[in-house]
A and B are shown apart, each in its own frame.
Chain A
Amino acid sequence: MDNLLLLFQAPPLALQVLIDGLLVGAILAMPAYGMALVWGVMNIINVTQGEFVLLGGFITYILFTTTGISPIWGIPVSFVALYVIGWVIYKIVIFRIVDRDLFISILATFGISIMLQQLMNVFFGADIQTADPGLESWGFMDDMIIVAPIRLIAFAMVFVLGGILVMFMRQSRMGRAIRATSQNARAARIMGVDTDKVYATTYALNAAICGAAGALVVMTSVIGPFLGIIYTVRSFLIVVVAGLGNLGAVVVSALGLGALENYAGFILGAEFQVAFVYILMVVILIYRSLMLRRQRRYLT
């Protein structure tokens, strides 16, 4: 608890923690939005979210170490690579579980997530990795606050990608088809929408968004084959708070989670930061369910 006092005694430090939290939180908005997309359109909770993020990170890392080019190029490469991987996974497994009950979809994606974890472990090794783009840190207020430029780039990238996604969903033919399918899949099918293709695109797009997020993660923090589940839980937490299909709310709650988590990590100690996220999720779920229970309703 000494650190709590420290935050009040040194306001620049509090600001530093806040800024770091917000910059990390922005990245979390991406897998969360992908999860909301898949959940809303296909009624599947995709537990592989975290593994897609890490896979994007590993692809960027491999690109960085083998060719030596700046890891920023990993963002488009991971996006495309994960789009393909997502499509393949849809064509092998996911299309079989779209109409099945939710338990089957959770467990099946959980199985895929275990497979991906172990495949990453076999191919990339169990060590944690990071790809440093080698940019110099910027100091503000007499170097009291230090910001890594890559985090700012990541922050900006989130908004750029978000803008592109919104444009895609609003303007393009496929975006319209996705929105129509999420409203009513049967009606969309009657109107001539190829829902199978819509599902495949949605799932692949989700994987691609996660992949791009993974490229940002590997530049700003670390990745390892078994660190995926925390991203899945964070995504779930953000979606539960923000609701489905509202990108603005997703970004705001992601920023909030990032800041809150960073403060918790600072005050309680870094070893409890991850535990804090899980407990926060359980507490929020119970709180919402208790609120709804007064009205004889429950979370659906």
Chain B
Amino acid sequence: MTANKPLLYGLVAIVGLVAPFVFPAYVAQFAFAWLFILFALTWDAQGGQMGYNSFGNILYFGVGMYVCIVVMVGYSYNVAEYTAPGGEKAFTFSTHQYIIGLALGTIAGGIASAILAIILGSGILGLRGHYFAIGTLGLGIAAGELAAGWDFIGAGSGVAAPVFPDAMGSRSLFFYFVFFAITVIAFFAYKWLYRGRFGLAINAIRDDEDKAEAMGLPTTHYKTMSWMVSAFFLGLVGGPVGLLIGFIDPRDTAFAGVTFGVWMVLMAILGGKGTIWGPVVGAIVFLIFKEVFWIYLLQWQQVALGALIVVIVVFFPQGIMGFLREQWPERFGHRVEETPLNDMNVRGEGEA
């Protein structure tokens, strides 16, 4: 399988580059597919690889989104005027303003989220188990409530994202490639991180944090670093998502704990926690489920999603990759020679 690897990557790259042109009607869905893969990957860095089940990673997504919009608007106009409710003045962005603003805003969003993760990390990551899960859940919702009360960024009525300049062609297509690029970078960044000392360290924390600490591993340092990397990528992608959707509501778009926040957990579990390909597979399968629910189950789609969460978690907690690994362990042991998946397998066999 190792020999097939360039083939696999090549195939994914070709599909990624060609798909939006072959099926132009589904560009927005494809864009969300890459976004969801990124969500699942960043969540899995804590939930799967480190054993810290965060329900609040959406916090960094929302922070990135708001920072990006504020920077982008601030580059060309006065932010307070822009977010003022019922403003008569029309704000138009030229291609130049849009591109430069977007680039600055996206990077600022990523960096702001990463810094926030470092600040929060040392406190929040000291919590474990139940407390970490509920604590992060509270953090995510608190951010939404704060954003909903802050007039500078539009408060509860939200803020409309800058309008995409007509001169730049299709909005969906543009953001498709933005998400595609960020997700591919994130995938290889994680692959590289998991392969080295970092991957071993966070896996050690997952397996037994007390022992890892007793062995002299600076656990807080690694935990914060893992959170920081996830926060960076989530912050990076936040702004473009806000611009693609076009309107930023503090509770339903930016800090959307009940939708994106839960979906990222679900996708990682569906694909298989603690594997690099699991989140990718899980995100795609989940997106298909979601689209089918949205098309065929008028009004009932969220109910069906809730039921899906329960079914997956209760009956299928090992996920798709976990299931495949149980069925054909020898193929997996062979296939993932150079990824941390292999480490887990070897360790599992060693213990048995």
Residues of chain A having any CB pair with chain B under 8 Å: 45, 93, 96-97, 100, 102-104, 106-108, 110-119, 121-122, 229, 233, 236, 240, 269, 271-272, 274-275, 278-279, 281-282, 285-286, 289-290, 293, 298-300
Q: What A residues does B246 contact at CB under 8 A?
A: none
B333 sits at the interface (CB 8 A): no
Is there an interface contact between A300 and B129, defined as CB atoms closer than 8 Å?
yes
Q: What B residues does A96 contact at CB under 8 A?
A: 314
B9 sits at the interface (CB 8 A): no
B138 sits at the interface (CB 8 A): yes
Q: What B residues does A119 contact at CB under 8 A?
A: 303
A selection of 29 A-B contacts at a CB cut-off of 8 Å is: A45-B133, A103-B53, A104-B313, A104-B314, A104-B317, A106-B130, A107-B265, A108-B314, A110-B55, A111-B309, A111-B313, A114-B258, A114-B305, A115-B302, A115-B306, A115-B307, A115-B310, A118-B306, A233-B137, A271-B148, A271-B156, A272-B145, A282-B138, A282-B139, A285-B134, A286-B123, A286-B124, A286-B127, A289-B127
Q: Which 8 A-B pairs have the closest CB atoms?
A: A111-B309, A115-B306, A278-B142, A275-B145, A114-B306, A118-B302, A111-B310, A271-B149
Q: What B residues does A281 contact at CB under 8 A?
A: 134-135, 138
Q: What A residues does B148 contact at CB under 8 A?
A: 271
B296 sits at the interface (CB 8 A): no
Q: What B residues does A108 contact at CB under 8 A?
A: 309-310, 313-314
**Smallest CB separation, B86 vs chain A (Å):** 19
B112 sits at the interface (CB 8 A): no
Contact with A along B120-144 (1 / 0, CB 8 A): 0001101111110111011101100
* Cβ 8 A contact of B135, one of A102, A111, A117, A285: A285
B185 sits at the interface (CB 8 A): no
B262 sits at the interface (CB 8 A): yes
Contact with A along B88-131 (1 / 0, CB 8 A): 00000000000000000000000000000000000110111111
- A102-B130, A278-B142 in contact; A114/B135 too (CB < 8 A)? no
* Cβ 8 A contact of A274, one of B126, B135, B145, B317: B145
* Cβ 8 A contact of B149, one of A93, A112, A272: A272
B146 sits at the interface (CB 8 A): yes
Is there an interface contact between A114 and B262, defined as CB atoms closer than 8 Å?
yes
B299 sits at the interface (CB 8 A): yes
Is there an interface contact between A122 and B134, defined as CB atoms closer than 8 Å?
no
Is there an interface contact between A111 and B149, defined as CB atoms closer than 8 Å?
no
Is there an interface contact between A122 and B310, defined as CB atoms closer than 8 Å?
no
Is there an interface contact between A282 and B302, defined as CB atoms closer than 8 Å?
no
Q: What B residues does A290 contact at CB under 8 A?
A: 123, 126
**Smallest CB separation, B48 vs chain A (Å):** 11
Is there an interface contact between A103 and B133, defined as CB atoms closer than 8 Å?
yes
Is there an interface contact between A298 and B303, defined as CB atoms closer than 8 Å?
no
Q: Considering only CB atoms, which chain B residue lies closest to A96 in the complex? A: B314
Is there an interface contact between B131 and A299, defined as CB atoms closer than 8 Å?
yes
Q: What A residues does B317 contact at CB under 8 A?
A: 100, 104
Q: What A residues does B145 contact at CB under 8 A?
A: 272, 274-275, 278
Q: Which of B51-67 contact A (CB under 8 A)?
A: 53, 55
List 13 additional A-B contacts (Cβ < 8 Å) besides A45-B133, A104-B313.
A102-B129, A107-B265, A107-B313, A108-B310, A110-B309, A112-B306, A117-B302, A233-B137, A274-B145, A285-B127, A298-B127, A298-B128, A299-B129
Is there an interface contact between A289 and B149, defined as CB atoms closer than 8 Å?
no
At the interface, is chain B mostly helix, strand, loop or mixed?
helix
Is there an interface contact between A278 and B149, defined as CB atoms closer than 8 Å?
no
A240 and B145 CA atoms in complex are apart in Å by: 22
- A45-B130, A272-B149 in contact; A233/B124 too (CB < 8 A)? no
- A108-B309, A114-B306, A122-B300 in contact; A286/B126 too (CB < 8 A)? yes
Is there an interface contact between A278 and B138, defined as CB atoms closer than 8 Å?
yes
Q: What B residues does A282 contact at CB under 8 A?
A: 124, 135, 138-139, 142
Q: What B residues does A45 contact at CB under 8 A?
A: 130, 133-134
* Cβ 8 A contact of A93, one of B53, B124, B141, B314: B314
A279 and B56 CA atoms in complex are apart in Å by: 13
A96 and B312 CA atoms in complex are apart in Å by: 13
Q: What A residues does B55 contact at CB under 8 A?
A: 110
A285 and B123 CA atoms in complex are apart in Å by: 9
A127 and B184 CA atoms in complex are apart in Å by: 42
**Smallest CB separation, A4 vs chain B (Å):** 17
Q: Considering only CB atoms, which chain B residue lies closest to A108 in the complex? A: B313
A271 and B146 CA atoms in complex are apart in Å by: 8
Q: What B residues does A299 contact at CB under 8 A?
A: 127-129, 131
* Cβ 8 A contact of B303, one of A100, A110, A122, A271: A122
A117 and B137 CA atoms in complex are apart in Å by: 17
A122 and B310 CA atoms in complex are apart in Å by: 19
Q: What A residues does B53 contact at CB under 8 A?
A: 103, 106-107
Q: What A residues does B142 contact at CB under 8 A?
A: 275, 278-279, 282
Q: What B residues does A104 contact at CB under 8 A?
A: 313-314, 317
**Smallest CB separation, A266 vs chain B (Å):** 15
Q: What A residues does B131 contact at CB under 8 A?
A: 240, 285, 289, 299
A112 and B124 CA atoms in complex are apart in Å by: 26
A110 and B306 CA atoms in complex are apart in Å by: 8
Is there an interface contact between B128 and A300, defined as CB atoms closer than 8 Å?
yes
**Smallest CB separation, A48 vs chain B (Å):** 11
Q: What A residues does B303 contact at CB under 8 A?
A: 115, 118-119, 122
A35 and B181 CA atoms in complex are apart in Å by: 45
**Smallest CB separation, B127 vs chain A (Å):** 5
